[in-house]
Amino acid sequence: MNETDTLTIIKPDAFGAGKAGHIIAHLEDAGFRVVAATVKHLTLDEARAFYAVHRERPFFSSLVEFMTSGPCMPLLLRREDAVPELRSVIGATDPAEADEGTVRALYAESKERNAIHASDSAENAEIEIAFFFAGTERLRA
């Protein structure tokens, strides 16, 4: 078995609505193990740094504003083929286009308030994990 790690963030909309436990249970039911978790209220500088890859996109400012609007919950997850499996489990960015039973179909409010972030590649997963969990021991249990 080739387990890998990925990062997800339960975004301020879902965290503030009390959906974190439901989302974590959904991810665990899909075979993910939570290796590390934290609750964080991102500063403007942190949100700008984390989403820097999108800084030239028209939605960057609203994304940063949204991600700093309340606490969020970054999670380091592990399972076989973690990155593509998580992308499948969370569903399309727009919940109206997300497959039934996916996290976004169940818990997202809109394309902008879409409940959850997931790393889009193994390389970005490592960068994103380091952003929130630098120095965290990567348990191999």
CB 60 within 8 A of CB 51: yes
117 counts as catalytic: yes
Sequence-distant (≥ 6) Cβ neighbours of residue 114 within 8 angstroms: 11, 13, 93, 94, 95, 104, 108
Catalytic residue of the set 22, 26, 54, 117: 117
Q: How far apart are CA 91 and CA 100, in angstroms?
A: 9
Q: Which residues are catalytic?
A: 117
